[in-house]
Chain A
Amino acid sequence: MKGFLDYVDGNSVLHRLNPMTKLIISFGLCASCFLTQNHAVVAAIALFDLCLGALAGISRRSALIFISLLKLSAALFLLQVFFVRQGNILLVLPFGLRVTDAGVSFSALFALRLAAVTMPLSLMLSITRMSDIANVLVRYLGIPYKYAFVLTTAMRFIPLFTEEMAGIMEAQTARGVRFDTGNFFRKVRLLLPLCVPLLISSVRRIEVSAISAELRGFNLRGRSSGYKRYSFGANDAAALFICVMIIVASAMI
């Protein structure tokens, strides 16, 4: 599987939407998760995200991302559930820890939200090119190009750094460093020294990119130099309508 921020080429109806529409929908779905306090609604939005993934032709990828998010959500659920004191006590544990019904409800909502909020952003990045995101940020939102470029470049570097870290870990394992152990805490302890090569390679890579951009006249670029136009069609209108309906419904339920 590609990294969860990598663009996946395609020609689905979602791929063809205006990038601005995709941005609005993704942030709209995130907002609707916070507007509701109903667990079922948040779960429904998460399922809707999966359906969008299937519609975009990346059902396997979105399912894998969703599963990864659920694992993270489960860890956060366990961290939260012991520290909410309000509500009726369901379970008393050693060391003064207790599980309450309010704690379970709050932690479950928190965990569900994490998955449901992250999915639309990940989907949007999977079906929208970084250059298109930068262009619409500049054209429609009036953000200076340099800031849009910084944002999209930072996003683009995340999978590269992930790959670099995997390569560094591979190299260290080949030297006998026991990254292939099952012990999570030992792995974390071994990871710390690897920040040095990762940081150095990252700084080098960024420096090369900056020099390369300057050599190609990056600083000469004005606001009017973007040439790409994005049409707004019936599909965009329909998608935005559905998004508004979801936001309104989640605010009311």
Chain B
Amino acid sequence: MLKFEDVYFAYAGGDTITGVSFEIGRGEFVALMGENGAGKSTLCRLCNGLLKPSSGRVAVCGCDTARTRTSALAKYVGFLFQNPDRQLCKNTVREEVELGLEYAVADKAERVRRRDAMLELFGLDGDREPFGLSRGERQKVALASVLAPEPDILVLDEPTTGLDYRECAAIMGVISRLNSAGTTILMVSHDMEVVSDFASRALVLNGGRLIGDGAVRETMRARRVMNEASLLPAQIPSLAMRIADLGAEYAGAFTVDEMVSAAANARGSARP
């Protein structure tokens, strides 16, 4: 679905992405992690042709992004920006959700069906003015308008930034359901709890280089990679590793349920 082959990209100030290669298959949920300035947003922009690689090749659903217009790639790649306000430009939520469809779907009836389905999925009032909504609601509108054309790949640049727990859970719930239905997700996030709860694979960037690529569980336990990228694992795997360092058998716990189970087992084996 998405393939980076030895990709380099440089802004005027110097190299930003250096020799990055990876491939993401259909239906994968991949988290992109790294400290600020590591090149995460740049890498995302390379995915839909907003930036073209200086050398190497980026292919989306078989299309070379260097030779395809970004607006043409929009039918394959949905891109949710960190700041939803940049995506909103219509007077009502309904018009906003329909905007992306105007370029992707020719049939009016089909556009209306998809628009209404999105409004229902996100529980949005189509008559509301987008800029009068809360930050979380605006993020939902932006996500609904990105999802309406039903792209094969969804690139999310820190979708939960600035959201409270309820808003975050609602947004991630929708994204997770889409992923279960086969949509490929590439998500930038600094929230390790969100990454550990939802992503199955992690890419770790540091200084524009890809220093880690593997299952989220393994990546979060790879102390060298996490340290090099200045990242802290989510709380449960972090706690499990700390306890494991003391000699107890908790190292495998990754979720709350697994930790509870490991604690119960440890308690059971400790009883006479």
Contacts and interface: CB of A to CB of B under 8 A. Distances in A.
- Give the interface size class of chain A: 20 to 34
A197 interface: yes
Contacts of B86: 164, 167-168, 170-171, 197, 201
B104 A176 contact: yes
Given A180-B69, A200-B131, A175 B85 contact: no
A91 interface: no
Give the interface centre of A175, A194, A200 by most chain B CB atoms within 10 Å: A175
A226 B50 CA distance: 45
A179 B85 CA distance: 18
A178 B103 contact: yes
A176 B85 contact: no
A178 B71 CA distance: 6
Interface string B85-114: 111111100000001101110000000000
Given A1-B12, A178-B103, A193-B90, A173 B85 contact: no
Contact of B88 (A176, A177, A178, A197): A197
B240 interface: no
A174 interface: yes
B237 interface: no
Nearest to A170: B50
Interface in A1-46: 1
Contact of A180 (B70, B81, B91): B70
Contacts of B18: none
Interface in B4-32: 12
Contact of B89 (A167, A172, A178): A172
Interface in B201-243: none
A83 to B, nearest CB: 37
B145 interface: yes
A193 B81 CA distance: 19
A65 B90 CA distance: 34
A196 interface: yes
A127 to B, nearest CB: 19
B71 A171 contact: no
A193 B90 CA distance: 7
Interface string A173-194: 1111111110000000000011
Nearest to A196: B89
Contacts of B100: 175-176
A197 B85 contact: yes
B85 A177 contact: no
A175 B75 contact: no
Contact of A176 (B45, B81, B83, B149): B149
Nearest to B75: A176
A174 B74 CA distance: 6
Nearest to B149: A176
Give the interface centre of B75, B86, B91, B146 by most chain A CB atoms within 10 Å: B86
Nearest to B12: A1
Given A1-B12, A171-B81, A174-B50, A179 B71 contact: yes
B79 interface: yes
A175 B48 contact: no
B146 A175 contact: yes
Give the interface centre of B83, B89, B145 by most chain A CB atoms within 10 Å: B89
A200 B69 CA distance: 29
A194 B89 contact: yes
B144 to A, nearest CB: 12
Interface of A: 1, 164, 167-168, 170-181, 193-194, 196-197, 200-201
Given A167-B83, A197-B88, 14 more contacts: A170-B86, A171-B86, A173-B50, A173-B71, A175-B74, A175-B87, A177-B71, A179-B71, A193-B89, A193-B90, A194-B89, A196-B89, A196-B90, A197-B89
7 contacts: A168-B89, A171-B81, A171-B86, A174-B77, A175-B145, A176-B104, A181-B71
Rank and list the top 8 A-B pairs by shortest CB-CB distance, nearest first: A176-B103, A176-B74, A174-B79, A171-B86, A175-B100, A178-B71, A171-B87, A180-B69
